[in-house]
Structure 1
Amino acid sequence: MAHTKEGRKKLLNRVRRIKGQIDALEMALEQEISDCSAVLQQIASIRGAVGGLMMTVLEGHIREHIGAENISPKQRNADTEQVISVLRSYVK
């Protein structure tokens, strides 16, 4: 998670853009006039945007928690296991 007000603002802006992409996809499917390639492209764009969001949050978590110098080895191991668990569920 972004640990600054500006970081949170950037994440929320990304989420809102993704929401807009999903809303556009929903409208395209409801109207039934979009061709398949346009729908597929929109889905690919959404997937890429979500992946980018995931990487941004993951990088921040690793840098701020796992990579922090002031945490105990026990806490570092717990945080590492948590990230591994999330990554396993993400790539399924």
Structure 2
Amino acid sequence: VEAIERAVEADKDCGAILHLVASVRGAMSGLTTDLIEAHLAHHVRDVEDAEARRQGSEDLVAVLRSYLK
């Protein structure tokens, strides 16, 4: 993100800035996917307690609702 700020402040070419934005977006998507997978593993799939699994599922749904707006 700092690279985008520096590029804008340096009045770089719009195409170059858009390329940076796309790269950051891709990296954030990958990180989001990894975090969702980890959450599912630790708070849903591998949890024996039904109430804890329910809470883990509800937490993920709440985050996804906000993320997908």
Aligned to 2:5: 26
% same residue:
38
Query: Displacement, 1:69?
Result: 4.4
Question: RCO greater where, 1 or 2, for CA within 8 Å and sep 6 or more?
Answer: 1
- Cα separation, 1, equivalents of 2:26 and 2:20: 10
Aligned residues: 69
User: Which residue in 2 is equivalent to 1:56?
Assistant: 34
TM-score normalised according to structure 2 size: 0.89
Equivalent residues in 2 for 1:38-57 (5 A)? Answer: 38-57=16-35
Q: Which runs of 5+ in 1 are unaligned?
A: 1-21
Give the Cα–Cα distance (whole angstroms) in 2 for the partners of residues 62 and 73 of structure 1.
14
Q: 1:75 aligns with which of 49, 52, 65?
A: 52
Unaligned runs of 5+ in 2: none
Q: Distance in 2 between matches of 1:89 and 1:37?
A: 30
Given the two structures, how large is their TM-score scaled by the length of structure 1? 0.69
Runs of at least 4 residues of structure 1 off by over 4 A?
none
Q: Partners of 2:41 and 2:9 in 1: how far apart?
A: 42
Q: Once the 2 structures are TM-superposed, how far is the Cα of residue 37 of structure 1 from its aligned partner?
A: 1.1
